[in-house]
A = this chain, B = another copy of it.
Amino acid sequence: MEKCDKKETIIQAALELVAEHGFHGAPMAMIAEKAGVGAGTIYRYFDCKDTLIMEIYGIVEERFVTALMEGYPEKGSVRERFLHMGAVLVRHLIAAPLELRFVEQFHNSPYGVAHRREKLFGEREKDIIRELFDEAKQQQIFKDLDLPILFALSFGPLVDVSRDHILKFINLTDQLIEQTVGACWDAVRR
């Protein structure tokens, strides 16, 4: 097993355990066992548990962005791009229930807040979502609301319905997904 593989294994084990049992239910020893490595080995790859969690979050987020980019209609209208992004988001969350659960755990931890703050106001390179929203505001397609509010209107419901689907409270079909994303569009569009 190569070095990279070992790190991957640890991350996957931690992701699953945190998603399934929460932070409480994912002690380092259990992560190590599930990953099939020694407990001390984890510390060769991560400074401490917090670092491990943070890094997993980063990876999950990246996979997430990658997913969003697949088939992204860069030349399409704002509406086309919005609908595409929303549908892809829901499909990704549903396809990766562990990652959704993990992200929710993460957001309610102290560093979750810090991370969100940095994301909203930090000096990060503009990502594709920001670009779309900025453009939509500039062209007065979107309502004149702060970015966080527009984000909330767009993605808040999508995350919620994805979780409800995973928990089997509802059953999201493709049609239902489109209708829901359409409703979000109604919320933000002028």
Which residues of A approach B to under 8 Å, CB–CB? 21-25, 104-105, 108-110, 113, 116-117, 120-121, 143, 145-146, 148-149, 151-153, 156-161, 164, 167, 169-170, 176, 179-180, 183-184, 186-189
Contact = CB atoms under 8 A, between A and B. Distances in A.
Shortest beta-carbon contacts, A-B, top 3 = A152-B160, A187-B187, A156-B156
Nearest to A156: B156
Given A143-B183, A187-B183, A117 B167 contact: yes
A152 B157 contact: yes
Nearest to A185: B187
20 contacts: A23-B24, A105-B108, A113-B167, A116-B167, A116-B169, A117-B167, A145-B180, A146-B170, A146-B176, A148-B160, A149-B170, A149-B176, A152-B157, A152-B160, A153-B184, A153-B187, A157-B157, A184-B187, A186-B187, A186-B189
